[in-house]
Structures are given as structure tokens and as C-alpha cells.
Copies of this chain bind each other. A is one copy, B any other.
């Protein structure tokens, strides 16, 4: 198995910078669209053969150094008694949980209800020649979906819950943390080589409130998960939270594009970094793209080790050939030539 990605996770610098892309299996890819035309998104997630096929596509086509399980961060919510749906304008979760009273709607996490995830993993580890990354949302990010009933512009309901009923919000977080921990451990048991926690929405909190309502639950997960595989933490809108995030014992910190890797390294004590090209740079001119890819590579050299990635998922308008060119450029790049 190609080991550049796992080496970098462990703080070792392989001979070239490993690269994969968040949402590398997705709608921007014609091969994905072909399958998506036959099945709805949730069916794709729940059918191990299809989920495995879609996971493999970008590995073959783009030549990336890691695969990420094709699934969705909301999948565990179904195993907690909520209904999830994916419509054009985004994901929907029901019923919403906005008060302590609503907490009764959230059932204990039933691992067997997401068995298809572990089946997909078992298929993939036989097929892949690169490491497989499992994942879940952070408890806080899951909480925002449960409270808002989907995505949100300003997260009014989440904030109202937090600041009106902080104790009940903590109860919600306890339940979601327990589920997330079980879910990640079972993915590791099924064979994933690394896991990434997506904290897509923690960036809506002030550093003070991140410290109260988000961080303790990540610490709880870190304490309970076997450290046999690298744990990656992705938080969008990280920059203001770095002084909090630095205390978390993740192996790799995945940064969004709105922070300078060099600034982040200062806070994170030069630990392994993943990231952080602005995904929308890829919609631009080739010279502008490659200039910025090179910048990220050079910035990444400040860290103990660096895994190239985007600061957010691949945008649907991205051209596959552009991504291929970026992967080749990264693989061929050597620091001595800078």
C-alpha cells in the first residue's frame, strides 16, 4: 500500500507531499454523475458496492494518496431515530431538537442501523492500494444540523438553544459524543487507516464558547478512541480558534484557506498539517492555480509534515483535468528546486 499519506500523518516527511481532496468523490466528476443518475444520494451511501465504487473513482482517476469513505456526516442521525433527507437546497433533518423537551426525540445510537458503512469499509480495504480515511462530524457540528434541521445562514436556533438552555445543550452534546465515539471506533474496527472529524460549523462560535460547548466533547472522544490510527481534525473557519484547538491531541490539523499555514504552525507547535488551498482557486486560470498550489506547498513546509488538501470540499464546478494536473504538480514538486 502507498504509505506517503500515513507517514505524513505520523509527522514523517515522505519523498513527495501526499495529496487528497475533501469531497473528492462527488458531483464534479462525470463518472460519479453517471451512477448518481441511477440512484439517489442516500441509496448510494447505503449500498456498500456503490459506496465502495464511488470511493474508488477519484483514487483511480486523480491518483490521490488516500481514499475517503463515500458517505455523509448526517448518516449516524438516522441510527438515532431522526429522519434525514437530501434535497436540492441541502440536507434536511427532522424532527428538530430546539429545547430540553425535544431531547426525547433523540434515541440511543444503534450501530447495527449503519452496518452498511462498515460493510463498505470491508470491501474497500481489499480493493485499495492507498489508505482509507473514515470520518464523522464532530458532536457540535452534528448538533447544529439537529437543531437547525439542516444547514443555516446564521445558526439562530443553535445559538438560542446554547445561550438559553446551556445545560440542555450539554445534554444533547453528551448524547452526540457517545454516538460519534462508537461510530468512529467501529469504523476503525472495520479497517479504516485513519479517521477525520469534520467540525464544519464550530467556526460559528467565539473562542470562549468553543472552549465551553465544543472542545470538551472532542477531548472526550480523543480519550476514548484507540490511537492505533491517526486522527485528523478539520475545522472550518479555524483561525480564531487555534489558541483553543492547540490543546487537542489530534495527530493532524486540517486547515481551511482563510488562515496562513505559517501562522497556524505557530499556534499548533508545528504539528502535522493538512490543507489548505481555497477550493474556488481551481475555477481560475492555470497560472493562478499553480502559483497558489506552490504557495501552499511552501507554507506546508513550515509544519512537521504536510498533507496537501483543499480548505473545503471540491466545488461542483471544478474540472477533473485541473485536479489531475494539480495532483501531478504536487507529486513532482521538490523543495530543493524552490
A interface list, Cβ under 8 A from B: 154-156, 159-160, 162-166, 203-209, 237-241, 243, 257-260, 263, 276, 278, 280-281, 283-285, 288-289, 292, 295, 311, 315, 317
Contact = CB atoms under 8 A, between A and B. Distances in A.
Nearest to A311: B206
B163 A257 contact: no
Given A160-B317, A163-B284, A239-B239, 5 more contacts: A155-B280, A163-B285, A165-B285, A206-B311, A208-B292
A119 to B, nearest CB: 34
B283 A207 contact: no
A280 B239 contact: no
A280 B154 contact: yes
B164 A285 contact: yes
A203 B156 CA distance: 21
Given A155-B280, A263-B240, A280-B154, A258 B206 contact: yes
Contact of A284 (B160, B278, B285): B160
- One complex includes copies of this chain to the number of 2
B208 A283 contact: no
Contacts of A239: 239-240, 259
Given A154-B280, A240-B239, A163 B289 contact: yes
Contacts of A156: 280, 283, 315, 317
Contact of A257 (B206, B276, B285): B206
Contacts of A165: 285
Contact of A159 (B204, B209, B283): B283
Contact of A205 (B207, B243, B258, B276): B258
A162 B284 contact: yes
12 contacts: A154-B315, A156-B280, A159-B281, A160-B280, A163-B280, A163-B289, A164-B288, A206-B292, A206-B311, A207-B263, A208-B295, A240-B263
B207 A260 contact: yes
Contact of A240 (B162, B204, B258): B258
B284 A159 contact: yes
A40 to B, nearest CB: 23
A206 B278 contact: yes
A278 B240 CA distance: 13
A327 to B, nearest CB: 19
Given A166-B288, A206-B278, A317-B156, A260 B283 contact: no
Nearest to A163: B284
A309 to B, nearest CB: 14
A207 B315 contact: no
B237 A258 contact: yes
Contacts of A203: 258
B243 A280 contact: no
A103 to B, nearest CB: 18
Given A156-B315, A315-B154, A281 B207 contact: no
